[in-house]
Amino acid sequence: MTEESNDHKELYFVVETKGYDKFDDISTKEKLQIASAKAFFKELKNKGMNVEYKTKLNNPELSQLISDILK
């Protein structure tokens, strides 16, 4: 989630890591939790909050993910 005010931008960033290399490696239970999180953040966005939900596996660099969000 980002907030902009008085010439600065704030980023609130949450990452939950599980150590999966491929989406297919994730258990059904974890996939349901991911789907629930996506729905939660979608609802926040629908209510006008500037939020983004992305799934991060082991491959992409965390710094790249942050860069993508701030674009």
Is residue 69 within 8 Å of residue 11, measured between CB atoms? yes
Q: What is the pLDDT of residues 16-38, one digit of tens each?
A: 777 788 889 889 999 999 899 99
- 20: how many CB neighbours lie within 10 A of its CB? 16
Report the number of distinct structural domains present in the chain. Answer: 1
DSSP annotation of 58 reads: S
Q: Which domain holds residue 37?
A: 2-70
Q: What is the pLDDT of residues 47-70, one digit of tens each?
A: 988 888 877 777 667 777 777 777
pTM over 0.95: no
> What are the two backbone dihedrals, phi and then psi, of residue 69, each rounded to the nearest 5 degrees?
-65, -40
